Amino acid sequence: MEKKKETIVAIDIGTTKICAVAGRLNEYGKLEILGIGKSLSKGVSRGMVANIDKTVESIKLAVEQLKSQVDIDFKKVYVGIAGEHIRCQQQRGNIVRNNTEDEISRKDIEEMIKQMKKMPVPQGNLIIHVLPQEFIVDGEHFIKDPEGYPGTNLEANFHIITGKATAAKNIQRCIVKSGLEVEDIILEPIASAEAVLSEEEKEAGVVLVDIGGGSTDITIFKENIIRYTAVIPFGGEIVTSDIQQGCKLLKEHAEKLKLKFGSSLPVESFENKVVSIPSLKGRPAKEISLKNLAGIINARMEEIIHDVLFHIETANKDYPKTLIGGIVLTGGGAMLKNVKPHFEYITGMDARIGLPNEHLAKSEVPNLQNPIYSTGIGLVLKGFEENKSELEEEESEETLKTTENETIEPNVVLKEKKGLAKFWKSIKKWFEDGIENDF
C-alpha cells in the first residue's frame, strides 16, 4: 500500500493580504502546491497584528477558501513573523572544551547556540533565530563547519535576530482563535529566500529585497550564510497612500491605479496620457495624468531604494561591488512596472524579479508564478525542512537504542532540533499561559 504523502499548511499574515497555502513533496523532492486561499488583511499594520478580531476574520476567510480547493483536514500550521520590530545584531560566542582528545562534535556547536539563546535582550523582546556564521578553532579563522576538527577553544560569530514578544504572542492568539494550532513561527524573509533564491546565488552573494505591503525586508547572503537582515518600516501600502493623497482618490481606486498604470520610473510614453477615475456620487470623474502618477510613485520608491542601498553598505561597504548575485526583488511591490531598472539605476547592482518557482513542481493551481506568494510558499518549504530534521533525529535516536552491544546512558542529552526557525518550543508554554489568561 502506497504511503500517504504528508501535507503542510502555512499562513502568511501580511499587511495587505493573508494567504493560506497547502503543499506536499512529490517523488522527486519538488513542492507541489495543492491550493491557495487568499483574503484581504483587515487587522494588520506594518506587518504586526493591530486588531486581533479583524485578523482572525481574514484568516478564517483564507482558510475556508483553501479548504474549498483541497480535500484535507489540517489543524497545525506554520506562520510567518515580520515587521519593523525585527532587529539583528552580531555576537561572538565561545566554549573551552575539556576533552581535547575528541574531535569537535555537533553537540559542542549546539552548546554554543544554547548559550547565545540565553544572552540578554531588551525587555519585551525575544530571540527568534541564532545563526552561526564563521567558526574559529584555536585561532584558525574562516571555518564554515568545525565538526570533526581537533581543538580546545571553539569560537563563532553569530547573527542574532530578535523581535517583540507581543508580536509573536498576537500571531499565536489569532491562529488559536481561528481554530488552528501553531506548529512554528518563522521569520518571513528567511521563508521568502527559501522560495526564490538558488543555492548558487546564496553562495555567490545576493540581496533579497521583499517589498511587502507594510514593510520592506532585506536579507543578505554570502557564502550560503545570512550576513545581514533589516526591515524598512514601509512598503507598497505607503505608495498607495501617497497616490490617494496626491490625487485625492479613494484608497481602493488608488491601489487599482497603482497596479494597472503605475510605474517606478517616469517614461516618455506617459506624456499627455490621462486615465479617468470614478469620483464620489454626483461629482465628475477625475482625470489623472500618468506622468504625475509616475512622479508620485517615483519619489517614494527612490526613498525605499536609497534605504535598501544604505543597509547594503552598512552590512559591508564593498557589497554593492562584490555581491555577484546582485539584488532579487520579490513580494507584491516587485510587481510594480519598471521597479527592476529603477533598483539597478540607483544601486549600480544587477537585479531580477524573484518568483517562487525555485523548488516548485507542476501544479493545477493557477498564477503561482507571482512574487506575492513567495512568503507563503517559502513557509511551506521551511515546514518540510524542519520535519525532515525531526525525522532524521528520530531515526538517529532509534538507531542508538537498537545498536547491538551498546549501552545507552539514561541521561544522554539529545541534540536540539536543527533548522533556523525552531524558537517556538522554548516560548510555547509562555504563549499558552497568555492565551489561557486571555480566555
Q: Where are the beta strands (DSSP E) in 315-358?
A: 327-330, 351-353
Q: φ and ψ at 283, to 5 degrees?
A: -115, 150
Helix (H), strand (E) at residue 407: none
Per residue in 383-431, pLDDT (tens digit) is: 998 877 655 555 545 554 554 444 434 343 333 344 434 444 545 555 5
Q: Where are the beta strands (DSSP E) in 315-379?
A: 327-330, 351-353
Q: Which amino acid is at 104?
A: I
Per residue in 149-163, pLDDT (tens digit) is: 988 899 999 999 999
Question: Which residues of the chain are under the pLDDT cut of 70?
Answer: 1-5, 100, 268-269, 389-439
CA nearest 58: which of 177, 192, 167, 164? 177
Per residue in 277-327, pLDDT (tens digit) is: 887 777 888 889 998 999 999 999 999 999 999 999 999 999 999 999 999
The whole-angstrom separation of Cα 102 and Cα 138 is 14
The whole-angstrom separation of Cα 47 and Cα 217 is 10
pLDDT given at position 394: 52
pLDDT given at position 391: 54
The whole-angstrom separation of Cα 46 and Cα 218 is 15
* Cβ atoms within 10 Å of 413's Cβ, excluding its own: 9
Q: What does the angle CA 340 – CA 219 – CA 86 come to, to the nearest 5 degrees? A: 120
pLDDT given at position 2: 44
Q: Which cell is 294 given? A: 509616475
- Report which DSSP code applies to 397: H
Q: Are 339 and 297 a contacting pair, CB within 8 Å?
A: no
Q: φ and ψ at 187, to 5 degrees?
A: -65, 125
End-to-end CA distance of the chain: 44
